């Protein structure tokens, strides 16, 4: 059999979209995981803020805890409470507690974000497969995925941070999605997420990337809290988030996953002209 070697630009349409979970597809504001991290540190006598807990969002959960412990403001609080720096043993203890609490918590934050189910249906009508990846571990997704499915959200593929050697910003979860969905090349896929690490993951995988400005971690508000903002504050916060995403290299920023079908059409036009996600 003659080997297949691609030696010209891909000019076909997008074949798959890979979505993050919390803050992108379910759990408006990505509230569930943040609450758990705040509680885990509180059990150590360290009162972290929701903003401090959100900074590393999207990473594998152990990496998330390590990143929080390295944050200067959290480290200062830890030293004040403990009289020493956090150790790997401390991180292990917090990670195991995070696993336990997260499994109990995430099922309560499993509602699909408004517009998600319609967007997924439209993308499938356009011929796209729906992949997904997450900083959640396998046991966490064993709880979340069935509950989300009963509410109508069922991607074609689920890859967790414990299914691959390393989580975000490494590209392995996206590559695993490509393998499971049988999609090639990587520029025929778009990665959508609500954190900077989502964008970095997609870029490292050679995919088109989209950051979500209003439904997830960067905005950090439930739907009711979002709707309670004044128009001026909403615009100001959205613009700041868009700036952070674009500064991280995102190709596009959308308000929610509901905007993705329109962006897919735009990306398809660019692909047809021979454009690629590469800078």
Q: What is the pLDDT of residues 91-102, one digit of tens each?
A: 999 999 998 888
Write down the pLDDT at residue 1: 43
The domain limits of the chain are: 16-31+110-272, 32-108
**Backbone φ, ψ for residue 29 (5° rounding):** 90, -5
- What number of H helices and E strands is found in the chain? 12, 6
Helix axes 138-150, 88-106, angle to 10 degrees: 10
Cis, peptide link before residue 169, omega less than 30° from 0: yes
Q: Kindly give the parts of the chain with pLDDT less than 70.
A: 1-4
Q: What is the pTM of this model?
A: 0.87
DSSP lists the bridge partners of residue 223 as none
Write down the pLDDT at residue 32: 83
Under 8 Å CB-to-CB from 262, ≥6 apart: which residues? none
Write down the pLDDT at residue 4: 67
Under 8 Å CB-to-CB from 272, ≥6 apart: which residues? 11, 13
DSSP 254: E
Domain 32-108 has CATH 1.10.150.240: yes
Count of CA atoms in the C-beta half-sphere (13 A) of 278: 7
3-state secondary structure of 74: helix
Q: Which fold has domain 16-31+110-272?
A: Rossmann fold (3.40.50)
Tokens representing 34 are 């943040």
C-beta of residue 238 within 8 angstroms of C-beta of residue 256? no
Write down the pLDDT at residue 256: 97
Cα(57)–Cα(51) distance, rounded to whole angstroms? 10
Write down the pLDDT at residue 3: 60
Q: Which residue has the tokens 């499915």?
A: 149
Write down the pLDDT at residue 107: 84
DSSP lists the bridge partners of residue 191 as 18, 209
Tokens representing 38 are 């705040």
Q: Among all residues, which ones are annotated catalytic?
A: 20, 61
């Amino acid at each position: 059999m003659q080997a297949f070697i691609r030696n010209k630009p891909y000019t076909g349409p997008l074949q798959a979209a890979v979505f993050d979970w919390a803050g992108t597809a379910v759990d408006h504001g990505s509230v569930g995981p943040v609450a758990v991290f705040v509680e885990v540190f509180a059990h150590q006598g360290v009162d972290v803020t929701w903003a401090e807990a959100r900074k590393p969002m999207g990473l594998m959960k152990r990496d998330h805890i390590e990143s929080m412990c390295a944050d200067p403001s959290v480290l200062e609080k830890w030293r004040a409470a403990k009289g020493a720096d956090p150790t790997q043993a401390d991180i292990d203890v917090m990670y195991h507690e995070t696993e336990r609490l997260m499994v109990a918590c995430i099922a309560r934050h499993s509602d699909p974000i408004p517009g998600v189910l319609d967007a997924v249906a439209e993308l499938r009508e356009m011929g796209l497969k729906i992949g997904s990846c997450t900083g959640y571990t396998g046991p966490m997704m064993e709880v979340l995925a069935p509950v989300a499915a009963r509410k109508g959200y069922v991607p074609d593929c689920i890859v967790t941070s414990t299914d691959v050697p390393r989580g975000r910003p490494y590209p392995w979860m996206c590559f695993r999605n490509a393998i499971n969905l049988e999609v090639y090349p990587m520029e025929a896929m778009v990665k959508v997420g609500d954190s900077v690490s989502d964008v970095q993951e997609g870029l490292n995988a050679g995919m088109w990337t989209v950051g979500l400005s209003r439904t997830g971690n960067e905005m950090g508000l439930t739907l009711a809290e979002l709707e309670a903002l004044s128009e001026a504050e909403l615009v100001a916060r959205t613009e700041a988030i868009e700036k952070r995403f674009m500064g991280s290299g995102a190709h596009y920023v959308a308000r929610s996953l509901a905007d993705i079908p329109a962006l897919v059409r735009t990306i398809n036009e660019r692909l047809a002209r021979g454009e690629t996600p590469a800078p």
